[in-house]
Amino acid sequence: LNFLFCFSMYISKKALRKHFDPREFPQETYLLCKLKWRGGIRSWQHWVRNDDYNNCHAEQYFLEEIFEPRSYNICDMTWYLSYSPCWECCDVIRDFLEEQPNVNIDIYVARLYYVNHPRSCLALRELNSLREVNYLASISPDYNDCWETFIWPDVNYDFSPKKFQSEIQRNRVKLKDILQVSTL
């Protein structure tokens, strides 16, 4: 059995650098998640990655196999994705949010996935229009938050997005263009 996730809530510095640097194009997608139930004191964190061998994407695996509704309270999730969701995962996220109206997801992406494909662009626009997706239009995860949340405590921060700021800006412009609805 090939597991998609690690039982640890921390990833390695090397994995964060490799998968969230938009100048690189690794074959895997990483999903880093922070989850908090309103009214609760603690937040929960986890990470998963896709598994090409079993043809399962990180977003789908997280929503179908890991997330468990635990109460009727509102659940706020923050996702840091190494790639924007593919069109199939956009559909999975949409279906999940329709079934779980008490869940909100903020999605931050490091780079865009197949944005030259019309179906991908349409799926991203549809996902962005959902009320439960608060913030898809973000390129560049909060790297400080990713480091503090998903890297072992007391590890020195040595991952600066300043080195790839131009790539972040290029992706922001691309995503903004994709999410704008044509008025023609």
Contact status, residue 28 vs residue 50, Cβ threshold 8 Å: yes
Contact status, residue 32 vs residue 150, Cβ threshold 8 Å: yes
126 in catalytic set: no
Contact status, residue 13 vs residue 158, Cβ threshold 8 Å: yes
- How many Å separate Cα 38 from the centre of its chain? 21
- Given the residues 24, 28, 59, 167, select the one marked as catalytic: 59
Residue whose entry in the numeric block shows the structure tokens 């938050």: 145
Contact status, residue 173 vs residue 140, Cβ threshold 8 Å: no
| Per-position DSSP letters for 98-143, written without gaps between them | HH-TTEEEEEEESS-SSTTSHHHHHHHHHHHHSTTEEE---BS--H
Q: How far apart are CA 41 and CA 18, in angstroms?
A: 32
Q: Any idea which residues carry the catalytic annotation?
A: 59
